[in-house]
Amino acid sequence: MFPAQIVSNASGRWGSYRVPLPVEDRPRWQKGEIVGTSIAILLYRVCRCCRRIYVKLFHTIFHALAIPCIVVGFIAVLDSHNLNPGGAIPNFYSLHSWMGLVTMGLFALQFVVGFFSFLILLCCEGATAAFRASLVPIHATFGITTFMLAVATCLTGLTEKAIFGLGKKYSSLPEEALILNALAMVLTAGAIVVAYIIMKDDFKYRGHILITAQGD
């Protein structure tokens, strides 16, 4: 698959020898993103006995792992549109693409603000403790919103795939449709479980006071 693509796209408009990323791999990257983000979010509930600074670092690392998944998935879909052998397909016209853009924007904002506020500002931990503590609920709300939007974007993507890929065959529920629907159900179940764990008071980390006591 890859060598053939290299040859057939050797004069692609994105540059002479750029290897287009196969769009078939995109759902895998998206799953990687959702899994990385879910683990990152749940860390604050799972690692309740660890020092907060370690949890923060792992929270950041797992979110950072989602970044290549987002970038590769994004480039793959641009490639599949711009280098389509039957003629370029327009970009950013569908609901799925708009939701994807909003999700990527929110994710980037969350990451940058979280990184600077909760890690870099630790340089002046005493002076910034009140600010960091006041930012936690805002960050948590936008964080779970970003996660839900990522899941919703995947669901609209799967719907698009079913309608464009299977067309009228979709209603007769062939094997591909079953796989698509099952994947959508797994994503939905994951979103419900993550939301439940995040919202449930019993699972909450009770050490916010440690922001000042431990200085992290």
User: DSSP code of 90?
Assistant: P
For residues 67 and 23, what is the distance between their CA atoms, to the nearest angstrom? 17
- Letters for 84-113 (x = contact with ligand HEM by CB under 6 A, - = none) are -----------------------x--xx--
Task: Tell me if 114 contacts ligand HEM by CB under 6 A.
Answer: yes
Q: How many residues bind ligand HEM (CB under 6 A)?
A: 25
Q: Contact, 62 vs 43, CB < 8 A? A: yes
Q: Three-class SS of residue 119?
A: helix
Q: 118: exposed, middle or buried (C-beta count within 10 Å: 0-12, 13-18, 19+)? A: buried
Task: Tell me if 125 contacts ligand HEM by CB under 6 A.
Answer: no
- Letters for 196-215 (x = contact with ligand HEM by CB under 6 A, - = none) are --x------x--x-------
Using CB positions, name the residue nearest to ligand HEM. 143
Shortest CB 202 distance to ligand HEM, Å: 12
Shortest CB 78 distance to ligand HEM, Å: 21
Q: Which is nearer to ligand HEM, 53 or 166 (CB)?
A: 53
60, 159, 188, 212: which one binds ligand HEM (CB under 6 A): 60
Q: Which is nearer to ligand HEM, 111 or 159 (CB)?
A: 111
For residues 199 and 194, what is the distance between their CA atoms, to the nearest angstrom? 9
Task: Tell me if 120 contacts ligand HEM by CB under 6 A.
Answer: no
Q: Which residues lie below 8 Å from residue 111, measured CB to CB, with a gap of 6+? A: 63, 64, 67
For residues 216 and 207, what is the distance between their CA atoms, to the nearest angstrom? 11
Q: Which residues lie below 8 Å from residue 178, measured CB to CB, with a gap of 6+? A: none
Task: Tell me if 58 contacts ligand HEM by CB under 6 A.
Answer: no
